[in-house]
Amino acid sequence: MNFEINELKDKATAIEVGDFLTGPNAFEQTWAPNEKDMVKQASLDSLRNKNHKYWYVEDRGKIIGAIGVRENKYGSGGYEMDSDYIAVHKNYRNQGIASELLRKMEELVKERGGRYIHVLTCDIDSYIPARKFYEKNGYKKVSEIPNYYVPGEGRIDYFKELT
């Protein structure tokens, strides 16, 4: 990978990250009714919470990849990607960017004594590459909830214990 991973630290970039994650170059599926607003707010919220972080990758001043994670609401050392997503611009995929973003995120969680990472994803076919990506990186499928997001789009949870 020839791109630098940057930690999100300012509001203007947080807005850009939110716009990227909810734009057509990151995801091509139908969005649940409040999902885009939730994702855009997550990158902004990370600026005010030391246990909520985002990283991003740029090419020529444009966001081409991003990832976010936060400690669970119990403050118990579990981290989750619920309203925090990972995405790479469709023209930059299969270059190792997502793997590097995931590695960076996992490093921080480990440094902070995190016990696990819990990821939510979808059961629709366009998410097959994402599910394979998580499995390749040591995440185990732990549950499925049909029709969770919208009718016809269920939720699949992945979990990785950190030791």
What pLDDT, on a 0 to 100 scale, did the predictor assign at position 29? 78
Q: Is residue 115 helix, strand or coil?
A: coil
- 81 secondary structure, DSSP code: E
pLDDT digits (tens, 9 = 90+) for 144-157: 999 999 999 999 99
Do the Cβ atoms of 52 and 70 come closer than 8 Å? Answer: yes
What pLDDT, on a 0 to 100 scale, did the predictor assign at position 19? 97
Do the Cβ atoms of 109 and 77 come closer than 8 Å? Answer: no
pLDDT digits (tens, 9 = 90+) for 90-141: 999 999 999 999 999 999 999 999 999 999 999 999 999 999 999 999 999 9
Q: Name, in order, each residue with C-beta under 8 angstroms of 81's C-beta and a sequence gap of 6 or more.
A: 67, 68, 69, 117, 118, 119, 120
What pLDDT, on a 0 to 100 scale, did the predictor assign at position 163? 77
Fold of 5-161: Aminopeptidase (3.40.630)
pLDDT digits (tens, 9 = 90+) for 64-102: 999 999 999 999 999 999 999 999 999 999 999 999 999
Give CA–CA dist 14/131, Å, rounded.
Answer: 26
Residue type, 72: N
Give CA–CA dist 31/91, Å, rounded.
Answer: 21
Q: Is 70 left (phi over 0), alpha (psi -120 to 50) or beta?
A: beta
Reported pTM: 0.94
Residue 55 exposure: Cα atoms within 13 Å on the Cβ side:
22
What pLDDT, on a 0 to 100 scale, did the predictor assign at position 21? 97
Label residue 1 by pLDDT band (50, 70, 90): low
pLDDT digits (tens, 9 = 90+) for 12-71: 999 999 999 999 999 987 888 999 999 999 999 999 999 999 999 999 999 999 999 999
How does strand 116-122 pair with strand 78-81?
parallel
Residue type, 74: Y
